[in-house]
């Protein structure tokens, strides 16, 4: 689906270290490749034990995992919203992404100098938030100027609704708050979706901590969690230093031993990739046969024809029905044939809403 998450953060917070660690995520994801599109864009495999299990059972000739694109976005300076430094490039790169991974420094280390002289993740968060909010405010003001006359003098109900929503959003931005937490409904967001407002994008706050805090967090992390709760945003705790050490190990087995020694079940990079997939509101369904076992990315709420369209538009246009097996049934019974025999294959029509983990086969005619 070509979905992107952009990594942002101030200098020396661990942003680029985490991005570089992602390039070695392949050993944590059954040896599927990482590839670079540009120097700062990587296609990252989404770890999924279900795909590995289906591969064991079906023994296909080919396996294709889900992927997302991670973009290491260039640095930011105060005044970016006015074009300072790499401001226009920075903001343009964020606008092109579907979600934001915001890395915050949550560790003390006198050997790693902070750009502002002290460790304060809330201040760091607000620096970037402010620049994004100022840019959004400029965008909203310009749109208000376009729709205000139609809203107040004409009979254009859509313009009136848009104007009212923009007025609420503007007041929210002027209060120093991001659009994602504005007091408007999901339906209201559709009226302003075309603006691609930067602070309307879902965000994952990644707290980069020292090794001692990776399991328990610390006072800095708690501060971030409190603010993130107000935005209904996700928070993930990672140690970039640990991740860089993991990335240097040669094999999957060595990495697992390293994690075991630290009392960790999985790497922070794995958690980051999975969390990024989650904030994009994505589901996975599978196709499974001897030729290929493949994971397909869909947006939560997709119907069966929409899911079929991810494979090919002709599948959606000519959709007849979907044959569906639940992942749990497939694993328990061991094969498609066994599921059919046990009555665990259902035939679904155009209104069926695909569930995460469904194994599907589509019938279509064009």
In this model, does residue 39 exceed pLDDT 80? no
Q: Is 331 one of the annotated binding-site residues?
A: no
In this model, does residue 87 exceed pLDDT 60? no
Q: What is the pLDDT of residues 336-362, one digit of tens each?
A: 999 999 999 999 999 999 999 999 999
Q: What is the pLDDT of residues 252-306, one digit of tens each?
A: 788 888 888 888 888 888 888 888 888 888 999 999 999 999 999 999 999 999 9
The mean pLDDT value of the chain amounts to 85
> Which tokens sit at 258?
């390293």
Span 67-85, mean pLDDT?
67
Residue 135 CA to residue 229 CA, distance in Å, equals 23
> Which tokens sit at 57?
């059972």
Percent of the chain with pLDDT over 70: 88
Residue 342 region by backbone torsions, left for phi larger than 0, else alpha for psi between -120 and 50, else beta: alpha
Residue 35 CA to residue 155 CA, distance in Å, equals 52
Q: Is 343 one of the annotated binding-site residues?
A: no
Task: Return the pLDDT at 363.
Answer: 95
Rounded to the nearest 5°, which phi and psi values hold at 283? -120, 165
Task: Return the pLDDT at 112.
Answer: 66
Q: What is the pLDDT of residues 299-336, one digit of tens each?
A: 999 999 999 999 999 999 999 999 999 999 999 999 99
Structural domains of the chain sorted by starting position, each given as residue range(s) with its CATH number in brackets: 4-48+62-119+202-279 (3.40.50.300), 128-199 (1.10.150.300), 301-364 (3.10.20.30)
Task: Return the pLDDT at 236.
Answer: 93
Span 138-151, mean pLDDT?
88
Task: Return the pLDDT at 246.
Answer: 85
In this model, does residue 119 exceed pLDDT 90? no
What is the model's pTM? Answer: 0.82
SS (H, E, C) 105-128: ECCCCCCCCCCCCCCCHHHHHHHH
Q: Is 125 one of the annotated binding-site residues?
A: no
Q: How confident is the model at residue 29 (pLDDT cuts 50, 70, 90)?
A: very low
Rounded to the nearest 5°, which phi and psi values hold at 297? -95, 130
Task: Return the pLDDT at 36.
Answer: 43
CB atoms within 10 A of CB 248: 11
Burial class, 46, CB count within 10 angstroms (exposed 0-12 / middle 13-18 / buried 19+)? buried
Q: How confident is the model at residue 34 (pLDDT cuts 50, 70, 90)?
A: very low
According to DSSP, the residues that pair with 323 across neighbouring strands are: 347, 361
Task: Return the pLDDT at 32.
Answer: 43
Q: Is 118 one of the annotated binding-site residues?
A: no
Q: How confident is the model at residue 233 (pLDDT cuts 50, 70, 90)?
A: confident
In this model, does residue 6 exceed pLDDT 80? yes
> Which tokens sit at 271?
């958690």
Task: Return the pLDDT at 344.
Answer: 96
Q: Is 299 one of the annotated binding-site residues?
A: no
In this model, does residue 172 exceed pLDDT 80? yes
> Which tokens sit at 161?
């609704």
Q: Is 366 one of the annotated binding-site residues?
A: no
Q: How confident is the model at residue 215 (pLDDT cuts 50, 70, 90)?
A: confident
Residue 165 CA to residue 183 CA, distance in Å, equals 9
Residue 307 CA to residue 108 CA, distance in Å, equals 47
Q: How confident is the model at residue 80 (pLDDT cuts 50, 70, 90)?
A: low
Task: Return the pLDDT at 3.
Answer: 75
Query: Are 222 and 245 contacting, i.e. CB atoms less than 8 angstroms apart?
Result: no
- Residue 53 has, within 13 A of its CA and on its CB side, a CA count of 15
């Amino acid at each position: 689906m070509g979905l992107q998450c952009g990594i942002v953060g101030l200098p020396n917070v661990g942003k680029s270290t985490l991005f570089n660690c992602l390039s070695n995520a392949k050993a944590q994801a059954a040896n599927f490749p990482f590839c670079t599109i540009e120097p700062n864009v990587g296609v990252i495999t989404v770890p999924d034990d279900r795909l590995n299990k289906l591969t064991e059972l079906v023994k296909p000739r080919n396996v294709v995992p889900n992927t997302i694109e991670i973009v290491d976005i260039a640095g930011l300076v105060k005044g970016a919203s006015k074009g300072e430094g790499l401001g226009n490039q920075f903001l343009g790169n964020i606008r092109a992404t579907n979600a934001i991974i915001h890395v915050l420094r949550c560790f003390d280390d006198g050997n790693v100098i902070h750009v502002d002289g002290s460790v304060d993740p809330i201040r760091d968060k607000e620096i970037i938030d402010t620049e994004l909010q100022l840019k959004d405010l400029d965008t909203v003001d310009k749109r208000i100027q376009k729709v205000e006359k139609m809203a107040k003098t004409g009979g254009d109900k859509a313009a009136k609704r848009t104007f009212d929503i923009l007025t609420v959003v503007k007041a929210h931005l002027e209060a120093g708050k991001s659009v994602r937490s504005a007091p408007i409904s999901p339906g209201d967001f559709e009226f302003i979706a075309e603006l691609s407002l930067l602070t309307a994008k879902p965000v994952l706050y990644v707290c980069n901590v020292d090794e001692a805090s990776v399991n328990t967090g610390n006072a800095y992390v708690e501060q971030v969690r409190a603010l993130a709760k107000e935005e209904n945003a996700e928070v993930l705790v990672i140690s970039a230093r640990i991740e860089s050490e993991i990335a240097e190990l040669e094999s999957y087995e060595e990495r697992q031993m390293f994690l075991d020694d630290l009392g960790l079940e999985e790497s922070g990079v794995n958690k980051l990739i999975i969390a990024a997939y989650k904030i994009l509101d994505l589901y996975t369904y599978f196709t499974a046969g001897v030729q290929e076992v493949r994971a397909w990315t869909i947006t939560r709420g997709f119907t069966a024809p929409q899911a079929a369209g991810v494979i090919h538009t002709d599948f959606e246009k000519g959709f007849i029905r979907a044959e569906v097996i639940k992942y749990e049934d497939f694993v328990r019974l061991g094969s498609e044939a066994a599921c059919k025999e046990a009555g665990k294959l259902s035939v679904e029509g155009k209104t069926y809403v695909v569930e995460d983990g469904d194994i599907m086969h589509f019938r279509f005619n064009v």
